[in-house]
Structure 1
Amino acid sequence: VMAFDRVQDRLDEIVSRGAAPAGSVAQVASESDVVVTSLPNDRIFRAVALGAEGVVENARRGAVLMDTSTVSATVSAEVAQAALARGVQYLRTTVSGNGVVAAAAALTVMASGPQAAYDLALPLINTIGRRAFYLGQAEEARLMKLAVNLMISVSAGMIGEALTLGRKSGLDWSKMLEVLASSQVASPMVLYKTPPLKERDFTSTMSAITQTKDVDLILDCAAQSYVPLPLTSAVRGMFQGLISMGGGEDDYIALVKHVETLSGVA
């Protein structure tokens, strides 16, 4: 669950006027103009969206279901069909950014679904995101999110291999990271991961298990489209190795440790 300061301020304001927290998903859906969900996987998203006590079954006609989860386009399309039948406007609003970006309400939001729903939800989107992109009427936001996460996952493997190669060849750990953060490969991801890597702090902002779930969604999507993804497939194996060695709850950038272990680096 991602909590954003500006959204929390609004919730505090509502509660201060005497509104009580809802007791169920069905109650939230029945009393809301916009329902925002952020859920970990297909199974839970389907249950919350489509269950008898879920959002679609209990929402008002014309209400907006605004989902920020990273889930498959397949289950998303299933929710879209059910929402259309019930007169619920279903908006896919996937997000990109880390915890620091989220706390600053500066996420990048990728949206797809009915244009009217996007226009209605845009003020809310702007409370969690600095930039918003409307991509189309259907599953475009889901697919764009998978493309972004593909690059993040492969970049994690690349960082692990580069740092291990340098370390085993005798380069200083801190100086390597300083150079990378000042070089042409210094993406926002590299800059965000440099400080914890300097301290070798692998506390999770996104666990290896969760990142592997996203990689599986990417590979499933690629299989449906007959797109070969050899780099992503290789990184999937790296994540599986990290998880098998007890690193599943570490941050996904702990692929560095896994490559070091394979290379005999203490």
Structure 2
Amino acid sequence: MTKLAFLGLGVMGFPMAGHLQAAGHDVCVYNRSPAKAEDWVSKHGGRSAPTPRDAASGADFVMACVGNDDDLRSVCLGPDGAFAGMKEGAIFVDHTTVSAKVTEELYGKARDGGLSFVDAPISGGQAGAENGQLSIMCGGDQAAYDAAEPVMNTYAKLCRRIGVSGAGQMTKMCNQIAIAGLVQGLSEALHFAEEAGLDGRSVVEVISQGAAGSWQMSNRYETMLDDAFEHGFAVDWMRKDLGICLATAEETGASLPVTALVDQFYKDVQNMGGGRWDTSSLFKRLRKVKG
């Protein structure tokens, strides 16, 4: 049994923390809205704390899954932040998708305080979190990763260290770049099939078994055709992530023309009122364009 803290109980963090408690760890949770933390304790046991510092006090590992750069700073830094409560040698594992810049900043502050910091963004969506089947891409010192990996494996299908601090976040950017193009391509294929008078389900049955097949195709085509977009990662969050990708591309000199275009398509979806729809709602945008 390991003493753990988990900060952030959204659609991903809530079940992830639950897996840790179910595995026999001693888990203390923190959430910005205390009612969510109380709900988690009523479902899973464990304890809740009023501040990140209190949750992190005495913990061997502190895991976080919050919203953005500012949210992450707020749970790490300051008199009530986790870093102020963590014991020397403890390891902070960040599952949030944030910029590599804030990761490097917090890695440095953690190191200066005798702590370790692993950036460990996740992919797999709400279903992956609930089923303990997440893909976790990590950056940070090898020793810290080696210590944290068995804990992360509680909710991981695959967990890998890619490189130094920030490498996990850079890899997550690659993930989001790939998803953006895949979802737009799938949306256009289904739209084309409809306009050509074909049955979309029959089309996907055939093409999914060939070179066009993908996770997005297998897991999202039916809900897309059913005009149901409440099954995954929200457009608002995708735009946040793509903004990080595009800003980082400016810094590194990478060219992301398709990503930039799809980001604008997601802006169209937001303007349709679909900020909380899942990312496959690019298909709904094409149906609206037709109309």
Q: Do these two structures clear the TM 0.5 threshold for a shared fold by scoring above it?
A: yes
Q: Distance in 1 between matches of 2:105 and 2:158?
A: 28
Q: Distance in 2 between matches of 1:247 and 1:101?
A: 23
Give the drift of 1:6.
Answer: 2.8
Q: Kindly tell me the number of residue pairs found equivalent between the two proteins.
A: 263
Match of 2:164 in 1: 137
Match of 2:187 in 1: 160
Residue 272 of structure 2 aligns to a residue in which SS?
A: helix
Match of 1:107 in 2: 134
Is there any run of 5+ residues in structure 1 with no aligned partner, and where?
Answer: none
Bigger fraction of residues in helix: 1
Q: Percent identity?
A: 27
Say whether residues 1:28 and 2:50 are aligned partners.
no
Q: 1:184 to 1:136 in 2, by over 3 A?
A: same
Amino acid in structure 1 at the alignment position of 2:136 = V
Give the drift of 1:100.
Answer: 2.4
Give the drift of 1:79.
Answer: 0.7
* Aligned counterpart in structure 2 of residue 240 of structure 1, from 257, 267, 288: 267
* Aligned counterpart in structure 1 of residue 244 of structure 2, from 195, 202, 217: 217
Amino acid in structure 1 at the alignment position of 2:267 = Q
Q: Distance in 1 between matches of 2:76 and 2:155?
A: 22
TM-score, scaled relative to structure 2: 0.84
Say whether residues 1:90 and 2:117 are aligned partners.
yes
Q: Distance in 1 between matches of 2:82 and 2:142?
A: 20
Q: Distance in 2 between matches of 1:13 and 1:32?
A: 9
Give the drift of 1:193.
Answer: 1.0
CA displacement, residues 36-79 of structure 1 (integer Å, 9 cap, x when unaligned):
00011111111111232111222111110001010000111111
Q: 1:168 to 1:203 in 2, by over 3 A?
A: same
Q: Which has the higher contact order (CA 8 A, sep 6+)?
A: 1
Q: Distance in 2 between matches of 1:21 and 1:262?
A: 48
Q: Distance in 2 between matches of 1:19 and 1:154?
A: 41
Match of 1:73 in 2: 100
Give the drift of 1:195.
Answer: 3.3
Q: What's the Cα RMSD here? A: 2.0
User: 1:121-132 counterparts in 2 under 5 A?
Assistant: 121-132=148-159
